[in-house]
Amino acid sequence: MIRTGVNCEVMKIRSCAGIAKSSFLLAHSELPALTFHKPKLTWTSTLNIPSNCESKFGLVTRVHCFVANRTYSSTSVSPSRSKRNNVRLGQKQGKSSSLYSRPSLAEMKNDRIAIRAKVYEFLRGLGIIPDELDGLELPVTVEVMKERIDFLHKLGLTIEDINNYPLVLGCSVKKNMIPVLDYLGKLGVRKSTFTEFLRRYPQVLHASVVVDLAPVVKYLQGLDIKPNDVPRVLERYPEVLGFKLEGTMSTSVAYLVGIGVARREIGGVLTRYPEILGMRVGRVIKPFVDYLQGLGIPRLAVARMIEKKPHILGFGLEERVKPNVESLVEFNVRKTSLPSIVAQYPEIVGIDLKPKLHGQRSLLQSIIDMGHEDFGTVVEKMPQVVSLSNTSVVKHVDFLKDCGFSLQQVRTMVVGCPQVLALNLDIMKLSFDYFQMQMQRPLDDLVAFPAFFTYGLESTIKPRDKIVAKKGFKCSLSWLLNCSDEKFKDRMNYDSIEMEEMETVPSFDMNSLMEPRSDESDSEYEDDSDDE
Mean pLDDT of 129-154: 82
Q: Identify whether the C-beta of residue 42 lies closer than 8 Å to the C-beta of residue 11.
A: yes
Cα 391 from Cα 412, distance rounded (Å): 20
Cα 501 from Cα 312, distance rounded (Å): 40
Alpha-carbon distances, residue 342 vs 80, 170, 297, 351, 353 (angstroms): 104, 49, 9, 12, 13
Cα 455 from Cα 206, distance rounded (Å): 58
Residues 81-104: tens digit of each pLDDT = 444 444 444 444 444 444 555 666
Cα 467 from Cα 440, distance rounded (Å): 16
Residue 273's pLDDT is what?
A: 96
Residue 310's pLDDT is what?
A: 96
Residue type, 369: D
Cα 375 from Cα 474, distance rounded (Å): 34
Residue type, 215: P
Alpha-carbon distances, residue 7 vs 37, 253, 295 (angstroms): 10, 101, 117
Residues 423-440: tens digit of each pLDDT = 999 999 999 999 999 999
Residue 84's pLDDT is what?
A: 47
Q: Where in the chain is the domain with CATH 1.25.70.10?
A: 319-418
Residues 296-339: tens digit of each pLDDT = 999 999 999 999 999 999 999 999 999 999 999 999 999 999 99
Residue type, 173: V
Say whether 42 sits in a helix, a strand or coil. Answer: strand
What percentage of the chain has pLDDT greater than the value 90? Answer: 58
How many Cα atoms are found within 13 Å in the side-chain-facing hemisphere of 96? 5
- The long-range contacts involving 154-157, CB below 8 angstroms and separated by at least 24 positions, are 155/181, 155/194, 155/195, 155/198, 156/194, 156/195, 156/198, 157/195, 157/198, 157/199
Strand pairing report for 59-67 and 10-17: antiparallel
Q: Residue-wise over 410-442: b if at least 16 C-beta within 10 A, else e?
A: bbbbbbbbbbbbeeeeeebeebbeebeeebeee
What percentage of the chain has pLDDT greater than the value 70? Answer: 70
Beta-bridge partners for 41: 4, 11
The superfamily CATH assigns to domain 319-418 is Transcription termination factor 3, mitochondrial (1.25.70.10)
Residue 111's pLDDT is what?
A: 65
Mean pLDDT of 17-25: 42
Does the predicted model carry a pTM greater than 0.85?
Answer: no
Residue 110's pLDDT is what?
A: 65
Residue 380's pLDDT is what?
A: 96
* DSSP codes of every residue in 318-347: IIIIHHHHHHHHHTT--GGGHHHHHHH-GG
Strands (DSSP E) contained in 407-527 are: none
Residue 80's pLDDT is what?
A: 47
DSSP H/E element including 174: none
Residues 159-197: tens digit of each pLDDT = 999 899 988 888 889 999 999 999 999 999 999 999 999
Q: Is the pLDDT of residue 288 over 60?
A: yes
Say whether 278 sits in a helix, a strand or coil. Answer: helix
Residues 226-246: tens digit of each pLDDT = 999 999 999 999 999 998 887
* DSSP 8-state secondary structure symbol assigned to residue 506: P
